[in-house]
Amino acid sequence: MRTRTPALTSASVLLAVGIAGCSDMGPWGDGTISSPATPSTAPNRDNTTTATPFAAAEFVDGEYSATGWYGSLPSHQDVTVGVEDGAITDVEITTPAEDETSLGYQQRFAAALPEAVIGKDIADIRVDRLAGSSGCSEGFMNALAKIKEAAAA
């Protein structure tokens, strides 16, 4: 007797693509924008904390850009921030998703991001979930880690 494996339907493929976008399930599942950790610490994926390697005064003023990757089906965002006196003065983020669901998450995240980070010390920023999106947060934090390295004095 032969067994048959069902073929993937277009709906299951779209579901997988949508999940690869910025999902609304955060690693901590508590809906917070910032972690409950102190400013000198940041939780990693297993919710333990590690000291951040930078202090706000250790950054050179300027504009910095990086690409942040996230998700099980690799997605990305290009992030540009302005830094002055160790604080973020401006932020821009791309929304390159082609899938409608993923694009929606990215656009909502991009709209909410400036309020969450502008005026805050770059060393202290930790975005876990914003505008219902944790995947976009992961991409942003990935890019921000590269920016911190580039801006370190």
3 found inside a domain: no
5 found inside a domain: no
Task: Give me the residues paired with residue 81 across strands.
Answer: 64, 91
pLDDT at 15: 36
pLDDT at 55: 56
Please report, to the nearest 10 degrees, the dihedral formed by the alpha carbons of residues 140, 142, 143, 149 taken in order. Answer: 140
97 found inside a domain: yes
85 found inside a domain: yes
For 26, the domain range is 10-151
118 found inside a domain: yes
pLDDT at 32: 35
pLDDT at 17: 37
Q: How many CB atoms lie within 10 A of CB 58?
A: 14
pLDDT at 10: 37
Is 9 in contact with 110 (CB distance < 8 Å)?
Answer: no
46 found inside a domain: yes
Name every residue whose Cβ is closer than 8 Å to that of residue 112 and which is 6 or more positions away in sequence: 130, 131
pLDDT at 74: 82
pLDDT one digit per residue (tens) for the chain, 153 residues: 444 434 433 333 333 333 345 554 433 333 333 333 333 334 444 333 334 456 555 899 999 999 999 988 789 999 999 999 999 999 999 999 999 999 999 999 999 999 999 999 999 999 999 999 889 999 999 999 999 999 997
- Report the domain count for the chain: 1
Name every residue whose Cβ is closer than 8 Å to that of residue 95 and which is 6 or more positions away in sequence: 77, 103, 106, 107, 110
23 found inside a domain: yes
